[in-house]
Amino acid sequence: MKVVTAEKMQEIDKGAIQKYGIPEVILMENAGIEVTNVAKTILTSLEGKKVCIFAGKGNNGGDGFVVARQMFYQGAKVKVFILGGLESIQHSAKVNLNILQNMNIDIVPIKSERDWDKVKVTLAFSDCVIDALLGTGFRAPLQESMKNLIETINFSGKPIIAIDIPSGVDASTGQIDTIAICATATVTFGLLKIGLIFYPGADYTGEVFIKNIGFPYSLLQDECIKQTIITNSIVRSQLPERNGDVHKGLCGRVLVIAGSKGMTGAAALASLACLRAGAGLVTLAVSESVHDILSSKLTEVIIKTLPEENEELIYEESLKTLMDLANKNDVVVIGPGLGRNPSTVQIIQKFIEQTDKQLVIDADALYALSKNTNVLEEKSRMPILTPHLGEMARLINKSTDEIKNNLISIARETAELFQSIIVLKNSRTVVAYPDGNVYINTRGNAGMATAGSGDVLAGIIGALAAQHNNSNFDSAVCGVYLHSMAGDIAASAGMIGLIASDIVQAIPSARYGIQE
Ligand SMILES: NC(=O)C1=CN([C@@H]2O[C@H](COP(=O)(O)OP(=O)(O)OC[C@H]3O[C@@H](n4cnc5c(N)ncnc54)[C@H](O)[C@@H]3O)[C@@H](O)[C@H]2O)[C@@H](O)CC1
Ligand SMILES: [K+]
């Protein structure tokens, strides 16, 4: 399912009108009808229902005028409020406003104090509110009077149906300027907008209905729309199958380089997640000093040690051990809990530079990598990097705020710059490829914001890359989705208090559920 910015949706609107000759009033009519249908489902019937419609001065307001007329036809008692005068309403919105005026439908421009009182009284007695104030044309900051109106509407506690996007949510980013309509349902047109799926916007939408209001299919499926939501069907078709006639050596061999004193859990979680995600053989390389701890934690993982002196890995010997181990495996997951000891950092840097194996680079290996990212573009197998916002900030020398506000574009640019797959972890994780394609995950839950969750993800991606026989393209997208589905299963016992091991345990049933 593709997802667009406000600008791209406006291009699609324009394309439908100019390239295909579909008149704007027809699109607007269809939009109004679709919203009316959803309202009818929510309210069971429109007959006798009191509906309060708040319309802005652009085409979002125009959609609201059509809803007023369509609901009136179906027996609803409608009242339309418009903030300020009616003079600046133009084009198709004006056409529909004229029809309402000709039908003597109650239209109230909100200008005086008395009008604000009317708004409050009408809201108090209404069954439903239609939010047609601002759509894809909204640009922050919100005008003061608009803020007050949104606050008044939210305060009413009535069911609110937002047209296209809740007013006040930036359709391109999901950002909110202090306040936005808190909708019960949102009826959006053509395609999902980024603002409907990214937080905080996603918290304001209620149930989202996507309706095609007459856009030609070719416009909605345009190749240049490079954002896609990860769905079950995408993942199901890409998850590696397992034949009956196999042995463990054919199911993917993964080397996990992880763990250090005080951070053995990260190594355990990453390597167990790897096995739970279906890898046939998992070898964990750890420093001598934590070998015994991990041996007692892990039964099914092969554990190899890296020589140490004075609590530091010995450079030459450790590097050689790692290179030998890597050669016996299909994929290497490097980073969880490795620590930032100078000798460790040096070894990681050299290892990443020298190995020709498929790499999944996470956590402390990203720290080591941030000193020299040039090695990435030279790798024969495209590396997969799994940074959270802080790690990404260090890698590309930008603030976490800047990254958070531009997740998609920054992930995309970095993937191109590093010629790597970037799995940028966040409440909506995005997976960006150097060709500009970005996949967005909308599954998972806030309970997954817990220590070790990222280690589990790195392990899952490593396992899938090994099973994909090094077709790393699918393993990042599938891994992110499988991780979130496992998180959702784990959260069924309670979201708060979920721990990373719960996610590990749920991986096989999540995978079974996806492939069913
Ligand atoms: N263009 C088209 O072909 C179609 C557009 N449609 C609807 O039209 C919407 C887009 O219409 P527009 O491009 O006219 O834009 P909008 O109607 O979303 O917003 C434009 C209006 O909002 C005001 N505004 C913008 N930022 C503001 C702020 N910060 N504070 C207060 N007021 C602000 C502008 O002054 C203008 O009056 C879509 O979301 C959709 O609902 C549909 O009717 C389908 C067809
Ligand atoms: K709206």
Closest ligand to C-alpha of residue 205 is 2
For the entire predicted model, the pTM comes to 0.93
CA dihedral 80, 83, 85, 88 (to 10 degrees): -100
How confident is the model at residue 242, as a pLDDT? 81
Amino acid at 113: E
324 in a known ligand binding site: no
CA distances to 193, 194, 206, 364 from 5, rounded to whole Å, are 6, 6, 19, 34
pLDDT tens, position by position, 362-416? 999 999 999 889 999 999 999 999 999 999 999 999 999 999 989 999 999 999 9
For CATH 3.40.50.10260, list the domain ranges present in the chain: 3-225
Which residues line ion ligand 2, judged by CB < 5 Å? 131, 162-163, 167
* pLDDT band (50, 70, 90) for residue 245: confident
Ligand 1 centroid, distance to 62 Cα (angstroms): 9
In tens, the pLDDT along 73-98 reads 999 999 999 998 899 999 999 999 99
Q: What pLDDT was estimated at residue 479? A: 97
pLDDT of 474:
87
251 in helix, strand or coil? coil
Residues 282 and 304: their CA atoms lie apart, in Å, by 11
Mean pLDDT, range 314-336, rounded to an integer: 97
Ligand 1 pocket mutation pick from 34, 59, 149, 167 by most atoms within 8 angstroms of CB: 59
- 3-225 — its CATH code? 3.40.50.10260
Could you say which architecture CATH assigns to the domain 232-237+253-515?
A: 3-Layer(aba) Sandwich (3.40)
- Provide CATH 3.40.1190.20 ranges for the chain: 232-237+253-515
Nearest-ligand number for the alpha carbon of 185: 2
Query: Given the CA of residue 28, which atom of ligand 1 is nearest to it?
Result: 43
Among all bound ligands, the one having the nearest atom to the CA of 28 is 1
Is 137 assigned a ligand-binding role in the annotation?
yes
For tokens 């802005």, the residue is 56
Best CA proximity match to 392, nearest among 351, 360, 422: 422
| Lining residues, ligand 1, CB within 6 Å | 13, 17, 24, 27-28, 31, 56-63, 134-143, 146, 163-164, 189, 213
- Per the annotation, does 437 bind a ligand? no
Atom of ligand 1 nearest to the CA of 165: 39
